[in-house]
Structure formats: structure tokens, C-alpha cells
């Protein structure tokens, strides 16, 4: 197992990475959509919004599968609290 996949073996860390990707793409989509008033801005906004929605669906399905394992994952907010402490 490589270092990158070993570091993401914990579901909570994978969840934080997924939520970070969703936040960056959503904010980027809004910035591009508001910054470019052309067809390219609209297409880029819609593409990034769809990517964010797809990531949300994937994260939801992934977290549903994780609940069957009964590990110590309590949601992304509690993972952030543990990470900060």
C-alpha cells in the first residue's frame, strides 16, 4: 500500500478530503460564474456545480456503506473537531 492510500485508509480522513474537494469546486464555480459574464463562465459554473453534486452523491453512498462497518465515524463536523483538537 502506498503512502497516499495508507494515509486515507481511515474513513474520516477520506471524508474530509471529499468535503474539501466539494468546497473548492463549489466556491470555484461561483467565482467563475460571477467573474466571467460569457458563455464560458456559464458552462464552467454548470460543470463545476455538477461535479460538486456528483461528489456529494458519492460521499453520501460511501458514508451509507461505512455505517454498516460500525467504526468510530460520527460525521464530518466531528471529524473536523477531532482533527483540530
Does any domain span residue 46? yes
> pLDDT tens, position by position, for the chain (85 residues)?
565 656 666 677 788 888 899 999 999 999 999 999 899 999 999 999 999 999 998 888 777 766 656 666 666 666 667 767 7
Residue 23 domain-assigned (yes or no): no
Rounded to whole angstroms, the Cα distance separating 63 from 55 reads 12
Domain that holds residue 44: 28-85
C-alpha span between 72 and 53 (Å, rounded) = 26
Domains: count for the chain: 1
Residue 83, domain member (yes or no): yes
Question: CB 54: neighbour CB atoms within 10 A?
Answer: 12
Residue 35 lies in a domain: yes
Angle at the Cα of 4 from the Cα atoms of 57 and 21, rounded to 5 degrees: 35
Q: What is the pTM of this model?
A: 0.68
Amino acid at each position: 500500500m502506498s503512502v497516499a492510500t495508507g494515509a486515507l485508509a481511515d474513513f474520516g480522513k477520506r471524508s474530509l478530503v471529499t468535503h474539501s474537494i466539494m468546497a473548492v469546486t463549489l466556491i470555484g464555480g461561483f467565482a467563475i460564474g460571477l467573474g466571467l459574464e460569457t458563455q464560458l463562465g456559464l458552462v464552467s459554473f454548470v460543470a463545476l456545480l455538477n461535479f460538486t453534486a456528483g461528489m456529494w452523491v458519492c460521499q453520501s453512498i460511501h458514508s451509507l456503506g461505512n455505517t454498516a462497518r460500525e467504526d468510530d465515524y460520527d460525521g464530518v463536523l466531528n471529524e473536523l473537531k477531532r482533527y483540530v483538537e
